A and B are shown apart, each in its own frame.
Chain A
Amino acid sequence: MQTEILDRQKKAQEENAEITGSQALLEALIIEGVNTIFGYPGGAIMPIYDALYDYNDKLEHILVRHEQGGIHAGQGYARTSGKTGVVFATSGPGATNLVTGLADAMIDSTPLVCITGQVFAHLLGTDAFQETDVINITTPVTKWNHQITDANEIPEVLAKAFYIAKSGRPGPVLIDITKNAQLQKFNYSGYKKCTHIRSYRPKPIIREEYIKAAADMINKAQKPFVIFGQGVILGEAEQEFKQFIEKGGLPAAWTILGLSALETDHPLNVGMLGMHGNYGPNVMTNQCDVLIAVGMRFDDRVTGRLDRYAKQAKVIHLDIDPSEIDKNVKADVPVWGDCKQTLPMITNLLEKRNHENWLNGFTECMKQEVEAVIDEEMHPKTDVLTMGEVIDQLNELTKGDAVIVTDVGQHQMVACRYAKFTKSKSNITSGGLGTMGFALPAAIGAKYGAKDRTVVAVIGDGGIQMTIQELGTIMQNNINVKILILNNRFLGMVRQWQQLFHEKRYSFVNIESPDYVAVAKGYRIEGNSIEDRSKLVSALDTMLKHDGPYLLEVFVGKENNVFPMVPQGCGVSEVRLK
């Protein structure tokens, strides 16, 4: 591969070849190591699709059913592969259909390069057919965007796009290319990867005094507590992180985007933070003496009420993005930098510890949670299935080896709470934006990003109906994803809030579903639907063993709630067990 890329570059330079903008774009993708594109054609991007016709052997293009599906697939791909997702869409409606995914990728720091076609440059601003001001629409939801009107710009701008998307704190980049630039022939003199932009500093430089201060503070702590987010995964610092907590004997809890960075069964993994997180991590946040945040951004779903958040603790914050430091929670020691570098520097200075008593506190909390919540979720006294037991059985069968992609709602919280993981990059969910409809297309991308792994999409009966058209993509490409619908016949999470905070005034949460097995069948996808506990294990097993995509609908309790819960407007220590 590498030699081929060099050859291509050399050849281009020697020949000083005349190629079109579209070809230059595809050359750029190949040199950037792209092999999968999710997209949908249309008038303004036709020259690129025409060029793609000749690149079929080098670039696999997946035709999705809706551009939102395309971009979520790109996100799923990026999150399991650790590479940059690439998405194509046409101008106007094609481009506006990307907006939800861009916002999702922006807030969840997912590296994407989206290419949109645009009308001819001379038509810009004339309300031409399918012209929208894509650059301005997408500015707040992209890390960077740029419009190309001249093919000569393509190599350089694409190089910048890939560099910006992936470096530092990753994010989505959108490049809008006018049709004339796609068609234009120009003197191509090869593609140079970008490694520096003078106005852009992807990684802040590390200051040793803060490393020392952090280590000192941790060494002196009696009750240190680590909370970690996706920064550990994005920085590929899983090993460094593990060594850090192991040496310091530091209990560690995760945000849902940090989930799977540390294996579930690790003795120092004390569980999930936030609104539906575990009891211990929430309560202990307000008891620890030093709170060490690693690659996480203190989202309000994690912190609850800020003025009641960890007020007793000294805070050490490790983040690659300087604007995150002091944004929500004031840091006593700001450790700006890439945690792949800063963590080992701190670990070096740590004294070996094991905070046994302090850790036991977490175990105690877990016991309380098991009694109050988990026992009933895993072994309900009624015949009606719970979401928790479905996930639990799934764990048994996959041995924590699967990629779990979740949609948004109760099933998402339950899956994050109970799914087990042995490998990083295995929990794919829409965290910051909470985008219903994310899971089905994201699972498609997740599978392309991790072809040899089992991918299970866990989706609610609401969310599946938001992007159900992507069954068509699964059908056409025979994508081996397992679709597990947890059907509670309600928009469950909203219903839970209405029950708890709106006197059970169930306003428009009653949602009907089609016969999903029949729908799947219509798409030539096998499926099954069950309601009985006795059929659960075999149904899950059949789904997992099936050679190809499979849809399994499991009916679960209609009015089950997810607990523990930190109600909105409450502090984390006010976490409710029922």
Chain B
Amino acid sequence: MKQEFTITIYTENQVGLLNRIAILFSRRKINIESLNTSPSEVESIHRFTIVISETEEVVRKIVRQIEKQVDVLKAYYNTNDEIIWQELALYKVPTEIIAEKVKVERLLRTYGARAVVIRKDYTIFETTGQREETDTLIKVLEQFSLIEFVRSARVAIIKDSKGFHEKLKEFEQAEPQIKNIEKTAILDEADTKIV
């Protein structure tokens, strides 16, 4: 059964790595629904967050292929109920219509949105939340001549995580490759052994 999975990848910050990861998906004809790259909590280590809709078996295999890449430190996947995730959306609407037809304040309160820019010609709202929440506001604003809409990629954090370090140990314990976690926790050595 296909479902949404969020893949988290910790990587070196290398030119070309995005392509190396992206082609692992396109080669298997898997559509990437959302992709975000950002720094991580560990200095010089990057973090990718990728969302795909697939069966768990496909996801497990592709995560292993990702992790096999030389510049990838760790990759793992989660279902939606294991993570806290958010997306940010921006909406541009004509100020005159908004001001005329709706009580802007009420609108903002109801949808947890915030006005980031208010000009004579347009207003930009911002809201952060899950897909349904940002979608609902589109529906509402469409009635008021929505000019432009954009939604960011998903960012996600694991619910029960104490951070990458602890999580890494936990994940590795669950896999047959690691015997002694203390010794191999990559980041313990990372800062001293940069190659």
Is A500 in contact with chain B by the CB < 8 A criterion? no
What is the CA–CA distance of A208 and B19 in the complex, to the nearest angstrom? 37
Contact between chains at B19 and A139 (CB < 8 Å): yes
Q: Tell me whether B182 is interfacial, beta carbon within 8 Å.
A: no
Q: Considering only CB atoms and an 8 Å cut-off, how many residues of chain A contact the other chain?
A: 32
Distance (whole angstroms) from the CB of B22 to the closest CB of chain A: 10
Q: Are B61 and A327 in contact (CB under 8 A)?
A: yes
A146 to B14, CA, bound (A): 9
* A194 in the interface (beta carbon within 8 A): yes
Q: Which residues of A contact B71 (CB under 8 A)?
A: 144, 199-200
Is the beta-carbon distance between B195 and A196 smaller than 8 angstroms? yes
Using CB atoms, name the residue of chain A closest to B61: A327
Q: Does A263 contact B (CB under 8 A)?
A: no
Given contacts A196-B195, A205-B184, A334-B176, contact A135 B70 (CB under 8 A): no
The reply on A210 being an interface residue by CB < 8 A is yes
CB distance from B16 to the nearest CB of A (A): 6
Minimal beta-carbon separation of B29 from chain A (angstroms): 14
Q: Which residues of A contact B61 (CB under 8 A)?
A: 323, 326-327
Chain B residues within 8 Å of chain A by Cβ, number: 31
CB of B119 closer than 8 Å to a CB of A: no
B-side contacts of A205, CB under 8 Å: 177-180, 184
Contact A200 B193 (CB under 8 A): no
B64 interface residue, CB < 8 Å from A? yes
Measured between alpha carbons, how far is A200 from B195 in the docked complex, in Å? 11
A-B contact count (CB 8 A): 75
Interface residues of B in 156-195 (CB under 8 A from A): 175-180, 184, 186, 189-190, 193-195
Q: Which single residue of chain A is at the shortest CB-CB distance from B177?
A: A204
Let me know if B194 and A198 touch, CB within 8 A. yes
Q: Are B70 and A164 in contact (CB under 8 A)?
A: yes
A140, B23: Cβ atoms under 8 Å? yes
A139-B19, A139-B20, A196-B195 given; A208·B179 CB < 8 A:
yes
> Closest CB-CB distance, A27 to chain B, in whole Å?
19
Residue from B70, B175, B177, B194 in contact with A200 in the complex, judged by beta carbons closer than 8 Å: B70
CA distance A207 to B180 in the complex (A): 9
List the B side residues contacting A321 at CB < 8 Å.
68
Is A558 an interface residue, CB under 8 A from the partner? Answer: no
Q: Is A382 an interface residue (CB 8 A)?
A: no
Most chain A Cβ neighbours within 10 Å, of B70, B179, B186:
B70
A204-B177, A207-B177 are contacts. A198–B16 as well, Cβ < 8 Å?
no
Q: Is the CB of B16 within 8 A of A140?
A: no
Alpha-carbon distance A456/B85, docked complex (angstroms) = 61
A322 within 8 A of B: yes
Say which residue of A144, A146, A194, A207 sits within 8 Å of B176 (CB atoms): A207
With A143-B70, A207-B179 in contact, do A194 and B64 touch (Cβ < 8 Å)? no
Contact check: which of A136, A197, A210 meets B70 at CB < 8 Å?
A197
A336 at interface, CB cutoff 8 A: yes
CA distance A136 to B180 in the complex (A): 37
The docked-state distance in angstroms from the alpha carbon of A139 to that of B21 is 10
A378 CB within 8 Å of chain B: no
The proximity string for B residues 46-83 relative to A, scoring 1 for CB distances below 8 Å and 0 otherwise, is: 00000000000000110011011011110000000000
**How far apart are A236's CB and chain B's nearest CB, in angstroms?**
22
B5-37 CB mask vs A (1 if < 8 Å, else 0) is 000000110011001100100010000000000
Q: How far is the CA of A200 from the CA of B186 in the complex (A)?
A: 10
Cα A136 to Cα B26 with chains together (Å): 14
Set of chain B residues within 8 Å of A208, measured between Cβ atoms: 179
Taking a contact as CB atoms under 8 Å apart, the answer to whether B70 and A199 are in contact is yes
Interface string of A481-494 (1 = CB under 8 A from B): 00000000000000
Query: Which residue of chain B lies nearest to A330 when distances are taken between CB atoms in the complex?
Result: B57
B67 to chain A, nearest CB (A): 7
CB pair B73–A198 under 8 Å, yes or no, is yes
Any B CB within 8 A of the CB of A475: no
Q: In the bound complex, how far is the Cα of B61 from the Cα of A145, in angstroms?
A: 23
- State whether A199 touches B73 (Cβ < 8 A): yes
| B177 CB → nearest A CB, Å | 4
Q: Which residues of B contact A313 (CB under 8 A)?
A: none
Contact: A198 with B19, CB < 8 Å? Answer: no
Beta-carbon contacts of A122-160 to B below 8 Å, as 1s and 0s?
000000000000011001100111110000000010001
The list of the 10 closest CB pairs from A to B, nearest first, reads: A204-B177, A323-B64, A199-B73, A144-B70, A200-B70, A205-B179, A198-B190, A323-B68, A197-B195, A336-B177
Which residues of A are interface residues toward B (Cβ below 8 A)?
Answer: 135-136, 139-140, 143-147, 156, 160, 164, 194, 196-201, 204-208, 210, 321-323, 326-327, 334, 336
